[in-house]
Amino acid sequence: MSAAVATLLLAGGCYDGTDVAAADGSGTDGESSGAADAGSGDESGGIPETPDEALDIPETTAIPRLSRREIDATLAEVLGIEGAAERFLPEDPRTVIDPMSGGEVEAFDTHATSKDPSTVFIEGLESMALDVAREFAADSAQVEAIAGCAPAGAFDPDCLRDLTETLGLRLWRRPLTAEEADALVTAATEFGEEGGHTFAVRMVTQSLLQSPEFAYHHELGLDVGDGVRLLDNYELVSRLAFAMWGQGPSAQMLDLAAGADFDDEALRSLAVESAADPRAEGQMRMFHQLWLRYDELLVTDEALATDMRAESDALVDRVILDEDARWTSLLTSEQTYVTPSLAEHYGLSEVPAEAGWVSYGDDGRAGLLSHGSFLSLSSTQGARTLPSRRGSMLSQRILCQNIPPPPPDVDIDDGVEVGEDECKADAYAVHRDASSACSSCHALIDPLGMGFERYDGLGVYRDVEPDKPQCDIAGEGTVAGQPFSGPREFAAVLDEEGVAARCGVQQLGRFVTRNATDREDLVERLTEAFETENENFRALMVAVVTDPAFRYRKEAN
């Protein structure tokens, strides 16, 4: 690497592996170069009173790194370049270690603690920045649209500075300081004078993208006491945009951030407007896909998997886009969207002539928990079912319960061993017996899984075990202390008890706050707001970003 390249990358805030690790590590306070000078201040000169809701928020233990999905969405929005992060960056982990149990628990791709710094990520970010910068710099129309100018000659340092400041604002989500802009333009000038304006644009863009200021979601804020920090305008609109849209703030949001501090009315107005944007619809769909994990199916027949994903997407869209739909109808709906082949696969009594909505019929199905996309996730061998694994999945995703990890010598993919002449229900009953060392876990999860046992790993209904016609499948379980059989009765119990709605709120809170740790006070407030709005999911998104705690973060000691 030449001295000029090194100078340019350092000017743009490109850290080496040690520094990136510090940015992502536990216990940092989130400060970054230039962040203290960015953002607006209270024009009245006063600091607003900190609400009680902000004092009990969990401490920040890591600076969140953007997910691969969020980076891709941001690059598409700002530069018009799609799929670069997916090509170059490693996939985000889907699990984190629970500090309480020491076991792995499922995590959203937004969770801060799931992304350990690694050479793979650092090298991938460098390669992505190089590739994206080359493509962007070659698109003169896009470059000039962002810069607001066309170069006057082979190299134009003034136009380059305009581009640097505007592009820096969009990618770093705050104004560059004068020193940052000066350093970037000065270092790129050598490339511009030798290779022309396009080459200088390429080097500035590469530097901005390769910086932790782009890849990490820094929030410095204003110290308001007790370790609590109030986000400035730029930090607030960034947090809102990533929550609502899964990408960085729009140019219009950043323009608003340059003005007076947001009062509650202004923040709510921005939240409502953002929630009405089609980008919010995409984010709501993505939350459900990641929560219920139907973006990754254990179905080897690709045509079948495609139909199953379309079925789940259609129901999610029907629920979240209909202003009058209660969110829990996601679990209680007695209609589903199927292709003719998927309806025949399930054995439904109503088979449409083409893809469309049909009634489930009388086999106990209801909602998304009847979909092959969900039922297949507890299977590792096609139609075979693993009741304990299915029960654990239902417990964690739908009931928001913490399940202790299995002993290290237990392979959960094998399930309980069932003898050749033994029925599965009898074999699992032994493990739930109080005399069994396995009873503590199996007593929690088996009653859930057994209630879904009449639906195989691909969503097909059956009432006897495969290859064992003498073994009837009762399909009976318990949830919330009440008996149930099948998804319809399961959903009815949860709806009556209000369990599903609360868990949905809880899961959304984890997704938005980038933290696997639940904030009980926040869950209570949002659940109440959700109920008040008749379980309108778009209104819930607005409630999340207008909650009094949303403006704050707390430093780790």
Q: Does residue 113 lie in a domain region?
A: yes
Residues in the chain: 557
Q: Sorting pLDDT into bands at 50, 70 and 90, what band is 386? A: confident
Name the domain boundary from 254, 273, 292. 273
The Cα–Cα gap between 532 and 307 comes to 35
pLDDT at res. 257: 97
In 415-467, where does DSSP find H-type helix? 424-432, 439-450
Kindly state the tokens that stand for 366. 């209801």
Q: Does residue 102 lie in a domain region?
A: yes
251-303 per-position pLDDT tens digit: 999 999 999 999 999 999 999 999 999 999 999 999 999 999 888 888 889 99
Same domain membership, residue 484 and residue 355: yes
Q: Give one DSSP letter per residue of 314-372, joined into a string.
A: HHHHHHHH-TT--TTHHHH-SEEEE-HHHHHHHT-S---SSSEEEE--SSS--SGGGSH
The Cα–Cα gap between 494 and 498 comes to 6
Same domain membership, residue 158 and residue 85: yes
Same domain membership, residue 453 and residue 364: yes
pTM for the model stands at 0.89
Same domain membership, residue 337 and residue 230: no
CB 261 within 8 A of CB 40: yes
Q: Does residue 320 lie in a domain region?
A: no
130-189 per-position pLDDT tens digit: 999 999 999 999 999 999 999 999 999 999 999 999 999 999 999 999 999 999 999 999
Same domain membership, residue 192 and residue 69: yes
177-221 per-position pLDDT tens digit: 999 999 999 999 988 889 999 999 999 999 999 999 999 998 999
- What domain range includes position 259? 222-273
Same domain membership, residue 210 and residue 243: no
Name the domain boundary from 215, 249, 283. 215
pLDDT at res. 37: 42
Q: Does residue 453 lie in a domain region?
A: yes
Same domain membership, residue 141 and residue 75: yes
Same domain membership, residue 486 and residue 416: yes
pLDDT at res. 52: 86
Q: Does residue 521 lie in a domain region?
A: no
At 129, phi and psi to the nearest 5?
Answer: -60, -40
Q: Does residue 468 lie in a domain region?
A: yes
Same domain membership, residue 244 and residue 184: no
DSSP state of 454: T
Same domain membership, residue 385 and residue 444: yes
Q: Does residue 528 lie in a domain region?
A: no
| Residue 441 CB neighbours (<10 A) | 20
Q: Does residue 417 lie in a domain region?
A: yes
pLDDT at res. 94: 85
- The residue with tokens 């699990």 is 95
pLDDT at residue 38 is higher than 80 = no
The Cα–Cα gap between 413 and 453 comes to 17
Q: Sorting pLDDT into bands at 50, 70 and 90, what band is 113? A: confident
Q: What's the structural domain count of the chain?
A: 3
Same domain membership, residue 232 and residue 210: no
Same domain membership, residue 208 and residue 187: yes
407-431 per-position pLDDT tens digit: 666 666 566 788 888 998 888 888 7
Name the domain boundary from 478, 496, 514. 496
CA distances to 11, 146, 283, 306 from 139, rounded to whole Å, are 24, 11, 29, 35
Spatial CB neighbours of 100, under 8 Å, sequence gap ≥ 6: 402
